[in-house]
């Protein structure tokens, strides 16, 4: 049995701000089917400590970047967790990343260095007889692990780093080299130094045995200056060990036939009608002569929804409607609140159950992202027969079959892509959407194709298992 410790800052359903949590929460079950025993190492935020059943303290650390800590094994929602209890780092109210002023907690570098430090110790010493063969680290928050491990492969577990979002580097000023317990001799361009700063992400990109990201197209984009967010050179240097492994979704939680959150569970496109009526009633929307478009998203510039604000009048003119659920940047929240009206329903906030009802009731889901490493909501759209309209970028390229004339002719389309990712092209896509929606036979065919597209974890779980086997030390 291969043993893998997953090292992450979020894990669904215990603590989530985005898709990272879904992936980290889904991998253990998906990989169990491949003979991998995976535990997840998480920071002991208050919401984590409240959610878990602790089974005993297992590892003590007298000084974890400024205070005592211990790792406790715990269970929650069928997951085997290891929780780093370190009140000085994690016991604080509000967002897991941001202080009350809306900025990163000033000690974020130490907070996640603490997570990585404990991961490296578990890798070295094992824990209660459980010795991981591989440390699977996620994003910059897990990326310092190689810095804290012995540098000789074979003397440590294999290390995989998965990039869910290259936009976040985990930077810290050089004055923190000592407090982060980093080797000062590695503060240079071939090490973790990045334009005069410490970059946790760069440390991981250089130190891990294998790098993965969450779609093949994003893997290719990361090698190019336009997509590499300043680290494309490092990615090109490590090209040989990079792979793109597509995310799946939890097919039990996101199953329209059994979903307890939706008004009328269904297993074919015809079954969506009562859910659409219920959604309209819930959101205060009347019947309309065009498609009901939905959005479930963080409201940040990555997601491109500012472009939607500009082209919304054109959608409404064609008889379309919008129902949006999201939260994020204050100006965008306000702009959507201001756009609300008889054909535009806006809910600012985070609401898991409503997100399911939007997917069940919508005709189309809009994902106009400027960049998107993988994206999960377009996959929910496919499963729910809710046609995705997506920017041509990252995982959105890999998961949606565009309704081009050729794809329509052979009857394989599952959604609409627009290129380049601009407001004009989004405008064009929404206009195409309205045309297709009126052609009932074509629309139904697309919905059937979408619902039949595999979106589960099985193939990607196999790919991860293969990767782990490649780098696990021979014991």
Could you tell which of ligand ADP, ligand GLC, none binds residue 169, using a CB distance below 5 to 8 A set by kind?
Answer: none
Q: Which of 91, 270, 338, 352 binds ligand ADP (CB under 6 A)?
A: 352
Could you tell which of ligand GLC, ligand ADP, none binds residue 209, using a CB distance below 5 to 8 A set by kind?
Answer: none
Q: Which residues are CB-neighbours of 41 under 8 A, at least 6 positions away?
A: 5, 6, 7, 8, 71, 81, 82, 83, 84, 115, 118, 119, 122
Could you tell which of ligand ADP, ligand GLC, none binds residue 200, using a CB distance below 5 to 8 A set by kind?
Answer: none
Closest approach of Cβ 191 to ligand ADP, in Å? 29
Rounded to the nearest 5 percent, the helix, strand and coil shares of the chain are 40, 20, 35
Could you tell which of ligand ADP, ligand GLC, none binds residue 351, using a CB distance below 5 to 8 A set by kind?
Answer: ligand ADP
Could you say whether residue 298 binds ligand ADP (CB under 6 A)? Answer: yes
Could you tell which of ligand GLC, ligand ADP, none binds residue 352, using a CB distance below 5 to 8 A set by kind?
Answer: ligand ADP
Question: Residue 84 or 296: which CB sits closer to ligand ADP?
Answer: 296
Note the residues at the interface with ligand GLC (CB under 6 A): 18-20, 23, 164-165, 214, 247, 372-376, 395
Q: Which of 141, 213, 355, 399 binds ligand ADP (CB under 6 A)?
A: 355
Pick the stretch among 106-114, 148-156, 269-277, 323-331 that binds ligand ADP (CB under 6 A): 323-331
Could you say whether residue 360 binds ligand ADP (CB under 6 A)? Answer: no
Q: How many residues bind ligand ADP (CB under 6 A)?
A: 18
Could you tell which of ligand ADP, ligand GLC, none binds residue 326, using a CB distance below 5 to 8 A set by kind?
Answer: ligand ADP
Specify which residues 75 forms β-bridges with.
53, 80
Could you tell which of ligand GLC, ligand ADP, none binds residue 214, using a CB distance below 5 to 8 A set by kind?
Answer: ligand GLC
Pick the stretch among 344-352, 435-443, 445-453, 460-468 that binds ligand ADP (CB under 6 A): 344-352
Q: Smallest Cα–Cα separation from 202: which of 184, 187, 214, 221?
A: 187
Question: Residue 160 or 376: which CB sits closer to ligand ADP?
Answer: 376
Could you tell which of ligand GLC, ligand ADP, none binds residue 230, using a CB distance below 5 to 8 A set by kind?
Answer: none
Specify which residues 82 forms β-bridges with.
41, 73
Could you tell which of ligand GLC, ligand ADP, none binds residue 298, using a CB distance below 5 to 8 A set by kind?
Answer: ligand ADP
Q: Smallest Cα–Cα separation from 325: which of 300, 299, 288, 302?
A: 299
Q: How many CA atoms lie within 13 A of 396 on its CB side?
A: 27
User: Are 293 and 375 within 8 A, CB to CB?
Assistant: no
Q: How many CA atoms lie within 13 A of 150 on its CB side?
A: 11
Closest approach of Cβ 217 to ligand ADP, in Å? 14
Q: Roughly how many angstroms between the first and final C-alpha of the chain, as a whole number?
A: 12
Kindly identify the residues of this chain, within the stretch 268-297, that bind ligand ADP according to CB under 6 A.
Answer: 296-297
Could you say whether residue 327 binds ligand ADP (CB under 6 A)? Answer: yes
Q: Which residues are CB-neighbours of 173 under 8 A, at least 6 positions away?
A: 197, 198
Closest approach of Cβ 101 to ligand ADP, in Å? 22
Identify each DSSP E strand in 349-428 by its residue range: 364-367, 387-391, 416-418
Phi, psi of 325 (to 5 degrees): -125, 125
Rounded Cα–Cα distance for residues 148 and 118 (Å): 9
Kindly identify the residues of this chain, within the stretch 5-34, that bind ligand ADP according to CB under 6 A.
Answer: 18-20, 22
Query: How deeply is 474 buried, as exposed, middle or buried, from its count of CB atoms within 10 A (0-12, 13-18, 19+)?
Result: exposed
Question: Residue 186 or 298: which CB sits closer to ligand ADP?
Answer: 298
Rounded Cα–Cα distance for residues 302 and 424 (Å): 17
Contacts to ligand ADP by CB under 6 A: 18-20, 22, 296-298, 325-327, 350-352, 355, 374-377
């Amino acid at each position: 049995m291969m043993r893998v410790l997953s090292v992450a800052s979020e894990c669904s359903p215990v603590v989530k701000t985005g898709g990272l949590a879904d992936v980290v929460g889904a991998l253990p079950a998906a990989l169990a089917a491949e003979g991998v025993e995976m535990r997840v190492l998480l920071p002991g935020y208050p919401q984590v400590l409240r959610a878990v059943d602790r089974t005993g303290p297992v590892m003590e650390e007298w000084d974890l970047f400024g205070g005592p800590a211990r790792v406790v094994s715990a269970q929650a929602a069928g997951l085997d967790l290891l929780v780093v209890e370190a009140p000085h780092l994690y016991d604080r109210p509000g967002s897991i990343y941001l202080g009350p002023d809306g900025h990163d907690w000033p000690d974020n570098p130490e907070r996640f260095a603490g997570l990585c430090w404990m991961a490296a110790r578990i890798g070295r010493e094992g824990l209660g007889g459980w010795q991981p063969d591989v440390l699977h680290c996620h994003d910059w928050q897990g990326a310092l692990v190689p810095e804290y491990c012995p540098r000789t492969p074979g003397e440590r577990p294999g290390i995989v780093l998965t990039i869910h979002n290259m936009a976040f580097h985990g930077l810290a000023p050089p004055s923190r080299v000592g407090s982060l317990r980093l080797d000062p001799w590695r503060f240079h361009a071939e090490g973790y130094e990045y334009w005069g700063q410490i970059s946790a992400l760069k440390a991981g990109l250089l130190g891990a045995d294998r790098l993965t990201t969450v779609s093949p197209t994003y893997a290719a984009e990361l090698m190019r200056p336009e997509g590499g967010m300043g680290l494309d050179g490092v990615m090109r240097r490590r090209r040989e060990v990079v792979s793109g492994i597509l995310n799946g979704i939890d097919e039990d939680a996101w199953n329209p036939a059994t979903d307890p959150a939706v008004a009328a569970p269904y297993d074919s496109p015809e079954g969506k009608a009562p859910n659409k009526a219920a959604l309209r009633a819930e959101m205060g929307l009347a019947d309309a002569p065009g498609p009901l478009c939905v959005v479930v998203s963080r409201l940040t510039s990555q997601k491109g929804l500012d472009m939607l604000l500009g082209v919304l009048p054109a959608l409404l003119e064609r008889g379309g409607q919008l129902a949006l659920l999201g939260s994020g940047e204050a100006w965008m929240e306000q702009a959507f609140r201001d756009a609300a009206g008889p054909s535009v329903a806006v809910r600012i906030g985070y609401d898991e159950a409503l997100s399911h009802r939007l997917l069940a009731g919508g005709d189309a889901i809009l994902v106009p992202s400027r960049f998107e490493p993988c994206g999960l909501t377009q996959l929910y759209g496919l499963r729910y027969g809710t046609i995705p309209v997506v920017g041509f970028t990252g995982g959105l390229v890999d998961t949606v079959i565009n309704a081009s004339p050729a794809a329509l002719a052979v009857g394989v389309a599952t959604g609409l892509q627009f290129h380049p990712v601009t407001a004009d092209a989004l405008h064009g896509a929404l206009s195409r959407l309205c045309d297709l929606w009126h052609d009932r036979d074509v629309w139904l065919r697309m919905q059937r194709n979408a619902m039949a597209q595999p979106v589960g974890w099985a193939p990607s779980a196999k790919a991860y298992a293969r990767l782990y086997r490649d780098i696990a030390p021979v014991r």
